[in-house]
Amino acid sequence: MKSFRHRLLTTILIWIGVLLAGLLIVIGQLFPIYAETHNTAEVWLMLFFVFVVAMIFSAIIGYRIIQVQALPVENVTQTALELAKGNYRARAFEYSNVGTVELSSTINILARNLQEITAIREMEQERLKTLIENMGSALIMIDRQGGITLVNRSFMQEFQLAAEDIDGKFYKEIRIPYELERFIEQVFMTETAARNQLEFKQGIHSKHIDVYGAPVLGEHEQWLGIVIVSHDITELKRLEQIRKDFVANVSHELRTPVTSIKGFTETLLEGAYKDPATAFSFLEIIEKESNRLEMLIKDLLELSKVEQAGFRVDAVPTNMKNLIERVGEMVERRLEEKNIQLKLQLEPVIVQGDPNRLVQVMMNLLVNAISYSTSRTAITVRLYQQDGEAVIEVEDQGIGIEASEIGRLFERFYRVDRARSRNSGGTGLGLSIVKHLIEAHHGNVKVESEVGVGTTFTIHLPLAS
């Protein structure tokens, strides 16, 4: 930059020299004539005057040249330097009627293009980053040397890593489950895509992931490293386990009465039928077991129906007070058998619900309350309105439930005391059905219980509008 100005200044100085020389020649020509008519002092004054005029003249011309030629070039150079530094917002002044205007505008076009290209690149990078960060799967990229080049947030969360655990590390150095490390190694060594399901311990819990690994190929099929994507499938595995448990439970529940029926029938056929008393008691058992089978199948069908996605109840305004009184009458015989008193504290409340389904719910809760209570206790059913909802409470003074069991109470076939519950005649599906039915009514059901004191089931249901 400086050199351009220097050169220009030198040019101007030479130019002034030439001008002065010219002047001196002219003066040299005129001098003899002038000297004859004027004294020496006047001659010197004249010379000095001419010199000063020439200097001022040169200065003005020089200044103009610098303004017109040097400054725009300096400005364009400065802009180019800024662009080189990466500041694509820099622009040159486009001085009008100057020879350098073309240079300035070209530099500006270049700057604008660069700015646009950078903006597009930044946008694409941002998009890619957002995609990788929010893809919902954990992702890690490893280069040819085994160094980690990219890791997304899900990966860090999933394997409980912090940024400093990863920065500049090799994949073998980071703290990931051994099973995953082996999988990465396999993809890394074989350079072929692979998929697998891995199980490992994280703290006290078992975790399942579905992993996919593939080599990353650049231009000309050149191997650049590998990418690993993993997906947490723990919840899926849990559901699969529940399904398997369910099948096992159903088979077990069905087998027990069938075995019993088969055993007693065989004994009868082998000759026990000849003794009427034995035959009668055996037939009674067979009848009881058949009833259990029938109930189990009924509950299973019922559960599969209410569990169906899109299951709806036919909700109509229903007089809940009447409904509970009716259910109270239906369990009268059972109450009498165990000498249990039923106290009804019912306010007139109209709910939005399916009467048949609500009878089923109340039946299940009341039969449970009776089954899991000792003789000569009381069961209280309350019905009232609160915060724009109907509240139903079924409180017993029965055996109660351990706090640790309450979380699983609504699971299919879950029973606190298997032997005891089976003797109570239930199928282990009652509370699952209750929960599904109440949720289909857009309500909810909760339990509070204390062992040896009693249990209260509380249902919230929407009121009829």
By beta-carbon proximity to ligand ADP, the closer residue of 315 and 416 is: 416
Angle at 357 between CA 351 and CA 358, to 5 degrees: 45
- Cα distance between residue 306 and residue 439, in whole Å: 10
Show the site string, 291-310: x = touches ligand ADP by CB under 6 A, - = not: --------------------
By beta-carbon proximity to ligand ADP, the closer residue of 154 and 364 is: 364
Show the site string, 430-449: x = touches ligand ADP by CB under 6 A, - = not: xx------------------
For Mg ion, the binding residues in 355-374 under the rule CB under 5 A are 368
Angle at 223 between CA 218 and CA 226, to 5 degrees: 95
Calculate the CA dihedral of residues 13, 18, 24, 25 and round it to 10 degrees. 170
For Mg ion, the binding residues in 426-465 under the rule CB under 5 A are 426, 430
- By a kind-dependent CB cut-off of 5 to 8 A, residue 398 interacts, out of Mg ion, ligand ADP, none, with ligand ADP
Reported for 71-75, long-range contacts at CB under 8 A and 24+ positions apart, including other chains, are 71/95, 72/98, 72/100, 72/101, 72/103, 72/104, 73/4, 73/100, 73/103, 74/1, 74/4, 74/5, 75/104
User: Segment near Mg ion (CB under 5 A), from 195-203, 372-380, 423-431, 437-445?
Assistant: 423-431
Candidates 399, 437, 445, 459: give the one binding ligand ADP (CB under 6 A): 399
CB of 429 to Mg ion, least distance (A): 8
CB of 262 to ligand ADP, least distance (A): 23
271: left (phi over 0), alpha (psi -120 to 50) or beta: left
By beta-carbon proximity to Mg ion, the closer residue of 227 and 431 is: 431
# residues contacting ligand ADP (CB under 6 A): 22
- Cα distance between residue 310 and residue 305, in whole Å: 10
Candidates 253, 396, 445, 459: give the one binding ligand ADP (CB under 6 A): 396
| Cβ partners under 8 Å of residue 220, min gap 6 | none
Q: Is 95 helix (H, G, I), strand (E, B) or coil?
A: coil
CB of 428 to ligand ADP, least distance (A): 4
- Cα distance between residue 441 and residue 245, in whole Å: 28
- By a kind-dependent CB cut-off of 5 to 8 A, residue 455 interacts, out of ligand ADP, Mg ion, none, with ligand ADP
User: Segment near ligand ADP (CB under 6 A), from 15-23, 31-39, 249-257, 391-399?
Assistant: 391-399
By beta-carbon proximity to ligand ADP, the closer residue of 135 and 406 is: 406
* 381 bridge partner residues: 344, 394
Amino acid 315 reads: A
CB of 454 to ligand ADP, least distance (A): 8
The owner of tokens 């270049």 is: 110
CB of 409 to ligand ADP, least distance (A): 5
User: Quick check: 238 and 207 in contact, CB under 8 A?
Assistant: no
CB of 361 to ligand ADP, least distance (A): 11
State yes or no: residue 455 binds ligand ADP (CB under 6 A): yes
By beta-carbon proximity to ligand ADP, the closer residue of 137 and 373 is: 373
- Cα distance between residue 49 and residue 238, in whole Å: 107
User: Quick check: 318 and 353 in contact, CB under 8 A?
Assistant: yes
- By a kind-dependent CB cut-off of 5 to 8 A, residue 428 interacts, out of Mg ion, ligand ADP, none, with ligand ADP
Q: Which three-class secondary structure string do you get for 258-307? A: HHHHHHHHHHHHCCHHHCHHHHHHHHHHHHHHHHHHHHHHHHHHHHHHHH
Contact residues for ligand ADP (CB under 6 A)?
Answer: 364, 368-369, 372, 396, 398-399, 401, 409, 414-417, 421, 424, 426-431, 455
Contact residues for Mg ion (CB under 5 A)?
Answer: 368, 426, 430
